[in-house]
Amino acid sequence: MKLRTKYILFVVIIHLVALTLTYFIFNDNKVWFIVSEVFVIISIVVAIQLYRQLIQPLKTLMQGVDAIKDRDFNVKFLSTGKHEIDQLTDVYNQMMDELRTERTRQEQQHFFLEKLIFTSPTGIVILDFDDKVQQINPKALQIIGSTANQVLNYPIDKLAHPLFEQIKLLRSGETVMVKAVGINTYKLQKSHFIDRGFSRHFIMIEDLTAEIVAAEKNVYGKVIRMMAHEVNNTIGPVNSIMQSALKTDQLWESHQFNTLKDALQVAVDRNQNLNFFMRNFAELVKLPAANKQPVDLHQLVNAVTKLMGIKAIEKEIEFKFQLTEGPFNIMADEQQMEQVLINIVKNAIEAIDFNGEIVFTTTEDRRSLVIADTGSGISAGQTANLFSPFFSTKKDGQGIGLTLVREILVNHGFEFSLKTVTPKKTEFTILFT
């Protein structure tokens, strides 16, 4: 029962009792009966006025409560001149001012946070209470190569990207370094925050590729320069002495020294090979800046396949072309891009034991070149180290071919990857964006 109903019922009962009692008590004395009735009437009038004074503040408060329910913090009440009501009005108005200020501050903070997440160079994925993707910023979409519609409102464990496979294994507060396809290296960090009393998770994806590549280059650059310095300082004088000895006929007049002469010649040749070996490594350190000019990629592919055609024929490997019509122009250093394609095709030929094919495919919409071979493929353990300096899958490999490819493509700003997509199908993809 409402307070208003209780009050009215109480007043009605009291006055009915009073009227009944006065009727029986003062029935014989009309004067006192009239006086008592007047008092009852005055009491009713006072009760009505008190009712209005008590109920009006309650109505006012209920209007304020409704405004709060509707999240309308602009409703305020004027002073009435009545002390008790004005005290309630002042408290209510002060509370509304605080709520309005707090809401404005929260909206500003929310807007700032949204802007910060949207423009952050770190990929950010925010999950809801059921671990579904509620929000994802453009950097994270760029990293995973998807659109917002492909990931929003999907459970994290239903997304098949390699990074999400690692995220599923993370617990809140853990951090892990992940090397994806190609040279890209990411730091994944999972954490949580409290929203309305419940825990929600978010993931930060930080691209460390540039820092790691720069650190690697700095390290192996120092090593190569030191090795080249020591080798050149040793090989030069030693070869000079041995060649002078070989040209001194008086030393070799007796045939008993022919074996020694042959050995010296072998040593000279070996030193020359060692010198050539070091020059190959030095190319990584001395790689010039890319002189970008308009280049027709299709012409470049045709030139490289003609150059590598003899090696392909020897192993009965067929070149196939799925190129878009017309020229495919890119901005690149022609000589450096030619070296990239030579290294890729050379590796593809060496990966095929005998009788296979290498397919060259260009797509205009993706602005990409894919070189696919039917070789033995790349194991999961090799994928993470493919572009690392000095790493090679070949017994006699120097580990500089793909490293040189990496340096050239990174300097050009081209994205790339090398992976075995199916058995007997390995693809090297370059995106010219």
The answer to whether residue 76 sits within a structural domain is no
23-35 per-position pLDDT tens digit? 666 666 667 667 6
Q: Residue 166 in 3-state DSSP?
A: helix
d(CA 341, CA 39): 112
Burial class of residue 360, CB neighbours in 10 A (0-12, 13-18, 19+): buried
**In this structure, what are the phi and psi dihedrals at residue 403, rounded to the nearest 5 degrees?**
-65, -40
CB 432 within 8 A of CB 367: yes
| Integer Cα distance of 425 and 98 in angstroms | 66
**Residues of the domain holding 235:** 211-285
Does residue 135 fall inside a structural domain?
yes
Residues 298 and 421 placed together within one structural domain of the fold: yes
So what's the pLDDT on residue 358? 95
| Residue where one domain finishes, among candidates 207, 224, 246 | 207
> Please, where are the H alpha helices in 258-416?
258-285, 297-307, 309-314, 334-351, 380-383, 401-412
Instruction: Give me the pLDDT at residue 406, please.
Output: 85
Give pTM, 2 decimals: 0.53
Are both 221 and 245 inside the same structural domain? yes
Q: Which residues of the chain have pLDDT under 50?
A: none
Closest by CA position to 64, among listed 112, 113, 97: 97
Are residues 408 and 349 located together in one domain of the fold? yes
* 374 contacts: CB under 8 Å, gap ≥ 6: 352, 356, 357, 358, 424, 425
| Per-residue confidence (pLDDT) for residue 17, from 0 to 100 | 73
Instruction: Kindly report the backbone phi and psi dihedral angles of residue 71, in degrees, each rounded to the nearest multiple of 5, phi listed first.
Output: 60, 30
How do the residues of the chain divide into helix, strand and coil, expressed in percent and rounded to 5? 55, 20, 25
Asked if residue 344 and residue 332 are part of one domain, the reply reads yes
Contact 275, 313 (CB under 8 A): no
Do 202 and 219 belong to one domain?
Answer: no
Pick the last residue of a domain from 152, 172, 207.
207
Query: For the chain, how big is the Rg over CA atoms in Å?
Result: 43
Q: CA-to-CA distance for 359 and 348, rounded, in angstroms?
A: 10
Residue 177, domain CATH: 3.30.450.20
- 45-102 per-position pLDDT tens digit: 777 777 776 676 667 777 777 777 777 777 777 776 777 677 877 888 888 888 888 8
Q: DSSP per residue over 294-321, as a string?
A: EEEHHHHHHHHHHHTHHHHHHTTEEEEE
| Structural domain includes residue 103 | no
**Helices and strands, counts by H and E, the chain:** 13, 12
Query: What is the structure's pLDDT at 124?
Result: 92
User: Which of 168, 166, 171 has its CA nearest to residue 184?
Assistant: 166
The DSSP letter of residue 265 is H
Total domains, the chain: 4
92 domain residue, yes or no: no
Residue 347 CA, chain-centre distance (Å), reads 31
